[in-house]
Amino acid sequence: MNALSQEHCEACRADAPQVSDEELAALIREIPDWAVEVRDGVMQLERRFVFPDFAQALDFTQRVGQLAEDAGHHPRLVTEWGSVVVTWWSHKIRGLHRNDFILAARTDNCFNG
Ligand SMILES: C[C@H](O)[C@H](O)[C@H]1CNC2=NC(N)=NC(=O)C2=N1
């Protein structure tokens, strides 16, 4: 269980700062299976999870969806036969907040069981 996943998410606020370059470098090391993507100028965390069939991909999707609802912070989830691509970013600040790293770590917990 990643220590980051145990941290508290703070409430999403439009004036919250994005992570600094230094924070990004430190935090991404704690979730080594995730990539940093930039889309339309918005920095995001993304990981593709592979499953043997659609049913297990869907079950994982449900678990991630529930953790998002519990946290009040939501990812993009692309569920297909055999895989789920999970993308985290903070819409309000159009970038990455510490919350996104915490929830990416919690997403890994959903995969690792
Ligand atoms: C009103 C509601 O709490 C907010 O819109 C939340 C919902 N979930 C969210 N999820 C993400 N990823 N970013 C947000 O800014 C966000 N805002």
- The CA-atom distances, in angstroms, between 70 and each of 9, 32, 85, 100 are 10, 24, 20, 14
What local confidence, expressed as pLDDT, does residue 66 receive? 98
Q: What separation in Å is there between the alpha carbon of 7 and the centre of ligand 1?
A: 18
CB-CB neighbours of 83 under 10 Å: 14
Q: What is the pTM of this model?
A: 0.96
Per domain, the residue ranges of the chain are 18-112
- The CA-atom distances, in angstroms, between 19 and each of 33, 89, 97 are 19, 11, 5
12 lines ligand 1 (CB under 6 A): yes
* Average confidence score pLDDT of the chain: 96
CB-CB neighbours of 59 under 10 Å: 13
Report the DSSP beta bridge partners of residue 37: 44
Q: Structurally, what CATH architecture does the domain formed by 18-112 represent? A: 2-Layer Sandwich (3.30)
90 lines ligand 1 (CB under 6 A): yes
Tell me the pLDDT band of 2, cut-offs 50, 70 and 90: confident
74 lines ligand 1 (CB under 6 A): yes
Q: Give the Cα separation of 77 and 108 in Å (integer).
A: 14
Q: Name the residue of 10, 69, 88, 92 whose CB sits within 8 Å of the most ligand 1 atoms, as the mutation to test its pocket.
A: 92
Q: What separation in Å is there between the alpha carbon of 110 and the centre of ligand 1?
A: 21
Which ligand 1 atom is nearest residue 99's CA? 12
Instruction: Give residue-wise pLDDT tens across range 36-85.
Output: 999 999 999 999 999 999 999 999 999 999 999 999 999 999 999 999 99
